[in-house]
């Protein structure tokens, strides 16, 4: 007892000094972690409320996870043959800093209209969500901070229009409009008219930032410049202009940063495989959207990923496998087939109802289609690696418009009809530049075998291996070139030895 008493007294008188030091350190560390957790919770809750009903919390979290700061440049990177060379003759700037530290702090900004252009998957939507999040944070200290709103133009246009008209104090509000290229029913002949209509709708806002695919405009000279909005209270006369900024592709440093953020320091073999795939796919992985699926891509069984079609096909196959692995072994194949045919139907419905619903499919329609294919939508994991997303209203869409275009391109090509030398397809791809790229990849790579099933499940009526060899040998005589005649038809031409185009015996 005396020993215990002695030890206790020592603990109170001497050891307590050490104990107090450890306790204070522990308390400080715990309090700090708790404050960060509370801060993030409050911030996420506020963002969810501000972006409802067009974005849900999962979408916001995905956009901020592993985010590599977006850079912009003054020259279209698509002008270079290889994206990796786009830095050579262009000036780059941190896009978040450009707006947060410069543009947003100008009290009377003469340049009020900004157009951010970028190729498919270059991170335009991700940037807009991060810009909104950083500016609207209640923890951001700024005497010049103004209200900010973010809206997706791919939604029902009338719904977005009504929402804009109800925004209070537009002259003091920053408005972010994401995806002009996703506005329903806009074609080459009506692009300028629709852009002017939107500008006229939002002209009273303090600052307007719009994103769009670069290829949505026929050429650089067709991109908006001078608007029909007159300048007031500024030096000189004239009309407002649109300030154009191009999203810069990832450089080697950005790619390395992303890989290190995605994989733990001890996942050395996965990092090596990721870098190997990045090197083999030339400049495909400079697109942040594709890089965000690098975990899926390194798990693919496919040895060579040389085209963008190959990469997307691998993404979809791995998504199907991941979803089906939740089921017992004997049920996995059926579920996988049901899910892919469900995706076909979703893509087809979105295309046929784009005018009214944009890139979304209403919940009740999704439930009807899922019921036909025995898919329980609640069982599908709508998380960061899913190819299906849903908004706060329960409506579904593909995680990226390029996924939607992949399905359309695949369905159209597999069901193509040949009339003479012209291939006719079910869908009109006049405003689907990414879908055209997918089909071009199929043709130029002599693709005959596909990992995904045919839409009609019919058996091939020819020997696939033999047909593949015939196509390859036929194409050895010259370079294949695909020429689009209309949005739903193309012809395959072949350059002969004297570099002339010949459409004879080009059927495949």
Q: Are residues 235 and 256 in the same domain?
A: no
Q: Are residues 412 and 479 in the same domain?
A: yes
Which comes out higher in pLDDT, residue 333 or 500?
Answer: 333
Q: Domain boundary residue among 377, 403, 429?
A: 403
Q: Are residues 116 and 188 in the same domain?
A: yes
* Length of the chain in terms of residues written: 508
Position 455 scores a pLDDT of 78
Q: Are residues 76 and 177 in the same domain?
A: yes
Specify the number of domains making up the chain. 4
| Alpha helices (H) in 52-87, listed in sequence order | 57-64
Does residue 342 register a pLDDT over 50?
A: yes
pLDDT, one tens digit per residue, over 203-218 is 999 999 999 988 777 6
Position 87 scores a pLDDT of 52
Does residue 162 register a pLDDT over 90?
A: yes
Structural domain of 483: 405-502
Question: Cβ distance 91 to 221 under 8 Å?
Answer: no
Position 381 scores a pLDDT of 59
Is 492 inside a domain boundary?
yes
Q: Tell me the mean pLDDT in the region 233-262.
A: 83
* Segment among 25-29, 64-68, 112-116, 397-401 with least mean pLDDT: 25-29
Terminal-residue alpha carbon distance, the chain: 95
Question: Cβ distance 243 to 115 under 8 Å?
Answer: yes
* Segment among 134-143, 226-235, 271-280, 389-398 with least mean pLDDT: 226-235
Residues 363 and 377: their CA atoms lie apart, in Å, by: 10
Burial of 153 (0-12, 13-18, 19+ CB in 10 A): buried
Instruction: Identify the band that residue 481 occupies on the pLDDT scale cut at 50, 70 and 90.
Output: confident
Question: Cβ distance 178 to 60 under 8 Å?
Answer: no
Instruction: Identify the band that residue 389 occupies on the pLDDT scale cut at 50, 70 and 90.
Output: confident
> What six digits make up the tokens of 489?
């038809």
Does residue 501 register a pLDDT over 70?
A: no
Does residue 460 register a pLDDT over 90?
A: no
Most confident by average pLDDT, 223-227, 268-272, 376-380 = 268-272
Q: Are residues 273 and 132 in the same domain?
A: no
Q: Are residues 289 and 350 in the same domain?
A: yes
Q: Are residues 449 and 492 in the same domain?
A: yes
Q: Are residues 204 and 286 in the same domain?
A: no
pLDDT, one tens digit per residue, over 421-447 is 899 999 999 888 899 999 999 998 888
- Between helix 433-444 and helix 308-324 the angle, nearest 10°, is 100
The pTM of this model reads: 0.70
Position 171 scores a pLDDT of 92
Instruction: Identify the band that residue 335 occupies on the pLDDT scale cut at 50, 70 and 90.
Output: confident
- Beta strands 174-178 and 207-213, pairing class: parallel
Q: Domain boundary residue among 209, 224, 247?
A: 247
Instruction: Identify the band that residue 387 occupies on the pLDDT scale cut at 50, 70 and 90.
Output: confident
- Computed over every residue of the chain, the mean pLDDT equals 79
Q: Are residues 290 and 330 in the same domain?
A: yes
- Torsion of Cα atoms, 260 then 265 then 271 then 272, to 10°: 130
Quickly list DSSP for 370-429.
HHHTT--GGGS--STT-SEEE-TTS-EEESSHHHHHHHHHHHHHHT-EEETTEEE-SS--
Which comes out higher in pLDDT, residue 72 or 390?
Answer: 72
Does residue 177 register a pLDDT over 70?
A: yes
Does residue 220 register a pLDDT over 80?
A: no
Q: Are residues 398 and 416 in the same domain?
A: no
Is 507 inside a domain boundary?
no
Most confident by average pLDDT, 51-60, 259-268, 329-338, 468-477 = 259-268
Q: Are residues 371 and 263 in the same domain?
A: yes
Is 508 inside a domain boundary?
no
Q: Are residues 470 and 385 in the same domain?
A: no
């Amino acid at each position: 007892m005396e020993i215990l008493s002695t030890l206790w007294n020592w603990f109170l008188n001497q050891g307590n000094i050490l104990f107090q030091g450890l306790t204070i350190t522990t308390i400080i560390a715990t309090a700090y972690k708790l404050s960060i957790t509370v801060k993030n919770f409050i911030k996420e809750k506020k963002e969810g409320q501000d972006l409802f009903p067009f974005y849900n919390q999962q979408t916001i979290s995905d956009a901020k996870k592993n985010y590599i700061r977006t850079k912009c440049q003054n020259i279209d990177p698509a002008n270079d043959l290889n994206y990796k060379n786009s830095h050579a003759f262009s000036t780059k700037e941190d896009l978040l800093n450009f707006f947060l530290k410069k543009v947003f702090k100008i009290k009377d900004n003469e340049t009020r209209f900004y157009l951010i252009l970028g190729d498919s998957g270059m991170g335009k939507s991700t940037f807009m969500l991060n810009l909104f999040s950083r500016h609207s944070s209640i923890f951001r200290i700024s005497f010049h901070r103004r209200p900010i709103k973010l809206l997706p133009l791919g939604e029902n246009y009338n719904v977005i229009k009504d929402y804009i008209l109800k925004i209070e104090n537009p002259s003091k509000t920053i408005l972010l409009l994401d995806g002009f290229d996703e506005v329903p029913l806009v074609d080459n002949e009506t692009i300028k008219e629709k852009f002017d209509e939107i500008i006229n709708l939002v002209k009273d806002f303090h600052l307007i930032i719009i994103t769009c695919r670069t290829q949505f405009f026929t050429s650089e000279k067709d991109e908006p410049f001078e608007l029909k909005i007159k300048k007031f209270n500024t030096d000189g006369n004239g009309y407002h202009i649109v300030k154009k900024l191009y999203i810069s592709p990832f450089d080697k440093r950005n790619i390395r940063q992303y890989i290190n953020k995605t994989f733990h320091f001890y996942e050395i073999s996965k990092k090596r495989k990721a870098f190997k795939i990045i090197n083999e796919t030339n400049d495909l992985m400079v697109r942040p959207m594709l890089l965000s699926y690098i975990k899926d891509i390194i798990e693919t069984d496919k040895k060579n990923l040389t085209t963008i079609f190959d990469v997307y096909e691998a993404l979809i196959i791995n998504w199907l496998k991941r979803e089906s692995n939740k089921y017992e072994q004997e049920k996995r194949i059926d579920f996988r087939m049901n899910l892919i045919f469900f995706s076909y139907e979703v893509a087809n419905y979105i295309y046929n109802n784009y005018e009214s619903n944009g890139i979304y499919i209403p919940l009740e329609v999704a439930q009807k289609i899922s019921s036909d294919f025995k898919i329980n939508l609640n069982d599908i994991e709508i998380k960061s690696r899913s190819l299906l997303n849903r908004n706060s209203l329960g409506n579904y869409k593909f995680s990226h418009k390029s996924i939607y275009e992949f399905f359309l391109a695949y369905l159209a090509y597999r069901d193509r009809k040949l009339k003479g030398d012209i291939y006719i397809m079910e869908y009109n791809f006049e405003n689907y530049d990414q879908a055209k790229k997918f089909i071009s990849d199929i043709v130029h790579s002599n693709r005959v075998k596909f990992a995904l099933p045919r839409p009609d499940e019919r058996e091939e009526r020819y020997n696939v291996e033999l047909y593949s060899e015939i196509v390859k040998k036929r194409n050895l005589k010259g370079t294949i070139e695909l020429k689009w005649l209309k949005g739903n038809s193309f012809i395959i031409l072949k350059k002969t030895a004297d570099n002339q185009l010949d459409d004879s015996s080009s059927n495949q």
